[in-house]
Amino acid sequence: MPPEERIELLGRILTASDQPLRSRAAAAIVLLYAQPLTRVVRLTIDDVVHDGDLVLLHLGEPASPVPKPVAEILLAWIDSRTNMNTATNRDSCWLFPGRRTGQPMHPETLGGLLKALGVLNVPGRTSAMRQHVQQMPAPVVADALGYHHITTTKLAAEAAVVWSRYVTTPRLRSPTGWTPLTTRDS
All structural domains of the chain with their residue ranges:
3-120
- Per CATH, domain 3-120 is 1.10.287.3510: no
Distance, in Å, from the CA atom of 94 to the CA atom of 42, rounded to the nearest integer, reads 7
Closest C-alpha to 131, from 106, 156, 104: 156
Distance, in Å, from the CA atom of 128 to the CA atom of 133, rounded to the nearest integer, reads 9
pLDDT given at position 165: 44
Closest C-alpha to 146, from 42, 51, 5, 50: 42
Distance, in Å, from the CA atom of 170 to the CA atom of 144, rounded to the nearest integer, reads 42
- Could you tell me where the beta strands, DSSP code E, fall in the chain? 48-51, 54-57, 64-65
Give SS3 for 48: strand
pLDDT tens, residue by residue, 22-71: 999 999 999 999 899 999 999 999 999 998 889 999 988 888 899 999 99
Distance, in Å, from the CA atom of 138 to the CA atom of 60, rounded to the nearest integer, reads 14
Whether residue 168 has pLDDT greater than 50: no
